[in-house]
Amino acid sequence: MAGGSSTAGASGVYGAGLASGIGGFLRRTAQTLLDAPWQIVEIAETGDAGVYRLWAVIGADLHAIKLIVPHVFYVNQKTPKEGEGASET
């Protein structure tokens, strides 16, 4: 640029300093959430079925996390219901 400063880093590559910027901060924060032990404080119901609010201490911070529990379940039967199962010939 004529007489102006460039936004390229010292290496001449644009965006080379992003690892120490906001992107690096978010990656480190996400990794901390995965690696640190969670101390679950409370699981509270919300107004929606199957949706709960989980409060957990992760590291030194208290986090509120939306927890979704699907209401799908399977039943294992030893005998088939009437009209289902192997057909008799």
Q: Helix or strand or coil: residue 54?
A: strand
More confident residue, 42 or 11: 42
pTM greater than 0.95: no
pLDDT exceeds 60 at position 82: yes
Partners of 57 in the β-ladder: 39, 62
What pLDDT is attached to residue 86? 59
How far apart CA 8 and CA 14 sit, in angstroms, is 5
Using one digit for the tens of pLDDT, what is the confidence trace for 20-79? 789 888 998 888 888 999 999 999 999 999 999 999 999 889 999 999 999 887 888 777
What pLDDT is attached to residue 33? 86
